[in-house]
Amino acid sequence: MAERRFDIVLFGATGFTGGLTAEYLARNVPAQARWALAGRNRAKLEAVRERLAAINPSCADLELLTADVSQPETLKSVAESTRVVITTVGPYLAYGEPLVAACAAAGTDYVDLTGEPEFVDKMYLRYHQKAKESGARLVHACGFDSIPYDLGVYFTVKQLPSDQPIHVDGFIRAGGRPSGGTLASALGAMGRLRQAQAVAKARRRAEEKPRDRSVRPVAGKPHRSSVAQAWVLPMPTIDPQIVTRSAAALDEYGPRFTYSHYAAMKRLPTAVGTVAGVAVVGTLAQVPQIRKLLGNLQKPGEGPDPQTRAKGWFTARFHGTSAGRSVITEVSSDGDPGYDETAKMLSESAMCLAFDELPSTAGQVTTAVAMGDALIERLRKAGISFTMLEKPPTYPPSRPRR
Ligand SMILES: NC(=O)c1ccc[n+]([C@@H]2O[C@H](COP(=O)([O-])OP(=O)(O)OC[C@H]3O[C@@H](n4cnc5c(N)ncnc54)[C@H](OP(=O)(O)O)[C@@H]3O)[C@@H](O)[C@H]2O)c1
């Protein structure tokens, strides 16, 4: 590792989220960090480098690596050139596997933004063992999926006794719009529910369970929550899977751990409308032609403009209970969750792997397991708050308009 040319390589810098990630790195990497941009189109990479040089003049010298998902040898040479790879090349089910394979083989740490459970489970089945042998840490879901929940629950259980059963409810409220890549990933995943279930089953069969401890996600029911001070709906995203994987790996989560994940909505009509909307889109997305039409609503490379992003925000509130104690915690930010804050979370995860003292781990690992306290510390410094609440404050009726 010591003789690798770079500390960090960003693959996908020419895309929407990749561009924001490149800008975050340009502003925040330590002066001595050696980093580079990788992508399939040299002219586009040069344009990104020029933009970065306007932010930080030292970026004018950034090296550009040409790599294409369809040419595995180019990904091998990226993986062998660096200690950590960041990738924003998605949908990951379509484009992600060759880079995971290259990093697992080269012993290179890897972070991505996937929220696609089928991809994560497939990568576990195919590369976890190889990565354990090579020493690579493969950390998926290092953005709004799933860092606020994974680290929020980790932060919550640390306030509770670790020798008692623990249950945590997570309630998420957020404002923001999707990019083309996010829309394509979500529609792609909706069209593959059966395949995703089959891969999840294969993973459950293959994965080692914790000894003498039980850990499971619990699908809650829609209800009015006094802690969230909102109507809450169970949210079947990748987040509860990530949270319970952290719980399975770490004894701090207690001898019996359960987690329920909800979307929180201030008003009942909004909650009812959301359920109906998700059901309609989910049903329509089963038809390939309609999926294609929905995908045209936002093209790859496009995403919410700075004015729209400036209105973004998120609050993830957690209620942890154990036999002797109950705590309420919150992870929140006034930044756009899906893009500005995601670029921050992804970049800080990569810098954490590259530069911080961390527990020794390898294989497919979650953010809580691989980075835990060190990443919370970084995110706090970068403006994402992790707080204990004395009692749940009332949500404002609506977020102030900016
Ligand atoms: N979970 C979260 O919190 C979260 C948040 C934001 C984004 N995301 C995910 O991040 C991913 C990217 O989203 P986005 O909106 O930024 O997408 P995007 O703008 O479409 O960017 C995709 C990138 O992939 C590159 N690419 C495509 N095919 C390639 C190939 N064959 N070889 C090399 N590079 C290739 C594109 O390069 P060119 O420029 O050359 O076309 C571009 O740089 C999506 O999967 C999205 O779901 C997740």
Using the mean position of ligand 1's atoms as its centre, give its distance from the Cα of residue 294 in Å. Answer: 18
Tell me if 229 sits within 8 A of 146, measured CB to CB: no
Identify the weakest region by mean pLDDT among 73-82, 87-96, 189-198, 217-226. Answer: 189-198
| pLDDT score, position 298 | 80
For residue 292, pLDDT beyond 90: no
What superfamily in CATH does domain 6-143+341-376 come from? NAD(P)-binding Rossmann-like Domain (3.40.50.720)
Higher-pLDDT residue of 291 and 336 is 336
Per-residue pLDDT averaged across 142-166, rounded?
96
Atom of ligand 1 nearest to the CA of 90: 45
Q: Give tens-digit pLDDT for 346-360.
A: 999 999 999 999 999
Q: Give tens-digit pLDDT for 221-273.
A: 999 999 999 999 999 899 999 999 999 999 999 999 999 999 999 888 887 88
CA-closest residue to ligand 1 atom 35: 89
Q: Is the CB of 180 under 6 A from ligand 1?
A: yes
| pLDDT score, position 391 | 62
Q: Is the CB of 152 under 6 A from ligand 1?
A: no
| Residue 96 one-letter amino acid | G
130: confidence class by pLDDT, cuts 50, 70, 90: very high
Distant-in-sequence, close-in-space partners of 315: CB < 8 Å, separation ≥ 6: 172, 173, 174, 330, 331, 332, 395
Atom of ligand 1 nearest to the CA of 185: 47
Distant-in-sequence, close-in-space partners of 11: CB < 8 Å, separation ≥ 6: 18, 38, 39, 67, 78, 85, 86, 87, 88, 89, 99
Identify the weakest region by mean pLDDT among 66-80, 250-264, 300-314, 371-385. Answer: 300-314
Averaged pLDDT score across all residues of the chain: 92
Q: Is the CB of 238 under 6 A from ligand 1?
A: no
pTM of the model: 0.94
Exposed/middle/buried for residue 233 (C-beta within 10 Å: 0-12, 13-18, 19+):
buried
For residue 65, pLDDT beyond 50: yes
Using the mean position of ligand 1's atoms as its centre, give its distance from the Cα of residue 185 in Å. Answer: 9
DSSP 267: S
Which two tokens mark 105?
A: 């083989």
| pLDDT score, position 396 | 45
Using the mean position of ligand 1's atoms as its centre, give its distance from the Cα of residue 346 in Å. Answer: 14
Tell me if 261 sits within 8 A of 240, measured CB to CB: yes
Q: Is the CB of 143 under 6 A from ligand 1?
A: yes
| pLDDT score, position 400 | 44
201: confidence class by pLDDT, cuts 50, 70, 90: very high
Q: Is the CB of 90 under 6 A from ligand 1?
A: yes
For residue 183, pLDDT beyond 50: yes
Distant-in-sequence, close-in-space partners of 316: CB < 8 Å, separation ≥ 6: 148, 149, 152, 170, 171, 172, 330, 331, 332
116: helix, strand or coil: coil
Tell me if 373 sits within 8 A of 213, measured CB to CB: no
Q: Is the CB of 150 under 6 A from ligand 1?
A: no
Q: Is the CB of 10 under 6 A from ligand 1?
A: no
Q: Where do runs of H (alpha helix) occur along 161-284?
A: 180-190, 193-206, 239-249, 268-284
Rounded to the nearest 5°, which phi and psi values hold at 232? -125, 140
Per-residue pLDDT averaged across 10-19, rounded?
96
279: confidence class by pLDDT, cuts 50, 70, 90: confident
Percent of the chain with pLDDT over 90: 79
Q: Is the CB of 145 under 6 A from ligand 1?
A: yes
